[in-house]
Chain A
Amino acid sequence: MCIGCHGGDGNSTNKTIPSLAGQPRQLIATQLFQFRQGNRKDPQMSPIAANLSNADMNDLAAYFATLKATPPSHRTSADNAKLGAELAKKYQCTQCHGPSLLGQQHIPRLAGQQPDYLRTQLKGFKANTRADMDGNMTSAAQALSDNDIDVLVDYLAGLTAE
């Protein structure tokens, strides 16, 4: 069921749907939990997660975490490649998401993620409408201008995952 939208190898080809390949195991299980719990809501994901057991979530997480992230089709503009790297440092994205933005533990990989998905999440954090584990992202997103979000999205979506 997952692969219909997220891609047969876990690499999404739809700009609004996240790739799961190469995401940290704990991150995937945590987000499935958030959908089942109703903390995150989505017309597609909420009903799917509602029927998953903890063991199902753990199995799915373990599986998608082992899949290889393919190089993204998104091409970052030359300006934003430089500017985005600066913003990622300025806003301390790398502190939690890791020096190469590959994610860790319950924190997602951003490198090579689908751009429209990233934009929706950042805007949701800024608007305080996207569920947040401990308030860290909601807080961090407050300082982002709409232009910052566009630059970061263009930068992150074009980063090669490995």
Chain B
Amino acid sequence: MRPAFIAAAFAAFFAASAFSQDKPAASPPPSWQQGKPSALSESTLHPFNIEMTGRSASELPIDKLKVPAGFKVQVWAEGMPGARSMALGDKGTVFVGTRQLSEVYAVTERDGKRVATVLLKGLNAPNGIVFNKGTLYIAERDRITRYDDIESRLDNAPEAKVIVDGLDPDKQPGHFWKFLAMGPDGKLYYNVGAPGNIVMPGYFQATISRVDPKTGVIETVAQGVRNSVGFDFHPKTKELWFTNHGRDWMGDDSPNDTLNRVSHKGMNFGYPFCHQGDMPDPDFGKHRSCAEFDKPTLKLGAHIAPIGMRFYTGKMFPAEYQNNIFIAMRGSWNRTEKQGYNVMRVVLDPQGKVLKYEPFLTGFLLDAKADPPMWGRPNDVMVMRDGALLVSDDQNGIIYRVSYGK
């Protein structure tokens, strides 16, 4: 069964390629080009690459950043090229993962100064990172590992202990980086993305799964999820909520990226057949109906690339922010005029119905028609113990802090 799936995926990969005009390519186009229709072969839209060596905040227009009245935004730490997912230790260490680099950073207070140091290096796309009961868990491209008692060993990190290995048996070309979260059930939740923009996924691709760190047993939590790089658990209902990236090359305004809620086991959110709950894929959707799939809770906008999302559980922000969701948008690129690059606020009622969806932190997007249009890219959000919200920016390797009052 497996080889047939892979063959089909690769056939689709080549058939849709803009580079296949002369002879079959020995090396397929990058996954971001995959699924680009021939009508768009002249398109100059392209993803933006991060600054691999980071940038200093002093060179950047930080004063463009805006937050609602009463809030304040400032640079919290810098010098962490590619800074993405964040995790908070019991003793206050902020752990930071990366995707295009191989580092995991630790931000600590030393002698009254905040310093960012390289904690681990040589890892394979260590994007997923979570701290729980003294242990740091990391999701790399192909495995999930643990580092016990990490905050006592920041200067001499222990060897990784492997919880699960072999998560990328086919060396998938796209969406191989993983997000990681600790569930209220004590299991580690992670995504395996679709291997390309729009392809038939393999058996455990385009899913969110969970692994029991004690036994290593894996279960599928949700299917038909193209690529989720951010999830969190509702503080009251304990349900899993996640962001999901829609496909590219299907128009400036379609499909939407989405916010989703997992209310029971066995849900399927439609990829590759149906996008945003109600838009059949032009190819894969021909013989399927959107009616058979689960719907998103909220359409977030097209191509805005929602990454990190967390429920706000802190005490610093006004009471109406309690249990709101903050979502970091890292895009858009696959759109003639760019949008996004904000941190958004979603207000829910107690039943989980969306009451409000509005920008919270803006100012990264400078010129929607420019290339590049932005100077920074929000990647993950995290609530600190004092209630402030940290926002990572992997374009520059900077973390910002949003606070209220004071």
- Chain A positions 124 through 154: 1 when the CB is less than 8 Å from some CB of chain B, otherwise 0: 0000100001111011101100000000000
Whether A136 pairs with B54 at a CB distance below 8 angstroms is: no
Task: Please indicate the chain B residues that have their CB under 8 angstroms from the CB of A128 in the complex.
Answer: 26-27
Known pairs A58-B53, A134-B30; list 15 more (Cβ under 8 Å).
Answer: A29-B53, A30-B52, A34-B52, A54-B54, A58-B55, A61-B53, A92-B41, A96-B44, A133-B49, A135-B28, A139-B33, A142-B19, A142-B25, A143-B21, A143-B25
Set B21, B22, B46: member contacting A96, Cβ < 8 A: B46
B387 within 8 A of A: no
Task: Please indicate the chain A residues that have their CB under 8 angstroms from the CB of B29 in the complex.
Answer: 135-136, 139-140
B32 within 8 A of A: yes
CB-based closest 8 A-B pairs? A54-B53, A33-B52, A135-B30, A106-B49, A134-B30, A139-B29, A142-B25, A57-B53
B79 within 8 A of A: yes
Q: How many residues does chain A have at the interface if contact means C-beta atoms less than 8 Å apart? A: 28
B74 within 8 A of A: no
- Chain B: minimal CB distance from A46 (Å): 16
Whether A32 pairs with B46 at a CB distance below 8 angstroms is: no
Whether A95 pairs with B44 at a CB distance below 8 angstroms is: yes
Interface size range on B against A: 20 to 34
What separation, in Å, do the CA atoms of A142 and B26 have in the docked complex? 6
Nearest A residue to B45, CB-CB: A95
A104 within 8 A of B: yes
Task: Please indicate the chain B residues that have their CB under 8 angstroms from the CB of A34 in the complex.
Answer: 52
User: What residues of chain B have their CB less than 8 Å away from a CB belonging to chain A?
Assistant: 18-19, 21-23, 25-30, 32-33, 41-44, 46-49, 51-56, 79, 81, 102, 173, 371-372
Task: Please indicate the chain B residues that have their CB under 8 angstroms from the CB of A135 in the complex.
Answer: 27-30, 173
Whether B27 pairs with A54 at a CB distance below 8 angstroms is: no
Whether B81 pairs with A54 at a CB distance below 8 angstroms is: yes
Whether A142 pairs with B49 at a CB distance below 8 angstroms is: no
Tell me which of B49, B52, B371 has the highest count of chain A C-beta atoms within 10 A of its own C-beta. B52
Whether B27 pairs with A139 at a CB distance below 8 angstroms is: yes
Task: Please indicate the chain B residues that have their CB under 8 angstroms from the CB of A33 in the complex.
Answer: 52-53
A100 within 8 A of B: no
Which residues 42-62 of A have a CB within 8 angstroms of B?
54-55, 57-58, 61
Nearest A residue to B80, CB-CB: A54
What separation, in Å, do the CA atoms of A34 and B372 have in the docked complex? 22
Known A-B contacts A142-B25, A142-B26; A58 and B49 likewise in contact (beta carbons under 8 Å)? no
A26 within 8 A of B: yes
